[in-house]
Amino acid sequence: MPNINKIALITSGGDAPGMNAAIRSVVLAAHHYKIEVLGFSHGYNGLINDECRPLFPQDVSDIIHKGGTILKSARCPEMLTLNGLKQVTSTLFKNKIDALVVIGGDGSFKGLIEIEKLWDGQTIGLPGTIDNDLDCTDYTIGFSTAINTGIEAIDKIRDTADAFDRIFIVELMGRQSGQIAFNVGIASA
């Protein structure tokens, strides 16, 4: 196993509940093993533009209950180009990164696979997407919260619909995946 002294950490794509908890876990585990963590802002954009800051346990001690992600997130069309990928790997080399941790969904993981073709460091993908649409993963970070939020909203809407003898139509997120709609539909009857 290679010696890892410094890791880069990003959250990429759409945010998902639990991303801050994942950030916290990575930082605390790395600190335990005396590994330095650089958090890059705005997903892959932060790697392209070398926007980073060191993350220490005190930076993540009170983030677990917050929504969104303290590292911010974004989609990054430049990751679909060879130039964008080269900029990312240049930043990884420049900062002497040994491992890259990406918390995100399918687009984020596709970017990670492309980086692996140009960079020989270690990579870890933590599945963070409310869509629950990643292969070989039972539940992604954020999926359970998305379901519970949908159920709570429908329970409240149902009361109003009953009070006025109306039918309400509810649309749920989930991109091309119907996992949230399917699970919320069953749970809320």
**Catalytic pick among 15, 106, 131, 133:** 131
Report how far residue 78's alpha carbon sits from residue 12's, in angstroms, rounded to the nearest whole number. 13
**How far is the first Cα of the chain from the last one, in angstroms, to the nearest whole number?**
50
Q: How many residues are there in the chain?
A: 189
Residue 102 — φ and ψ, nearest 5°? -115, 120
Q: In sequence order, what are the residues at sequence separation of 6 or more whose Cβ sits closer than 8 angstroms to the Cβ of residue 151?
A: 184, 187, 188
Task: List % helix, strand, coil for the chain (3-state, nearest 5).
Answer: 45, 15, 40
Report how far residue 11's alpha carbon sits from residue 14's, in angstroms, rounded to the nearest whole number. 9
**131 part of the active site:** yes
Q: What's the longest Cα–Cα distance across the chain?
A: 65
Annotated catalytic sites, by residue?
131
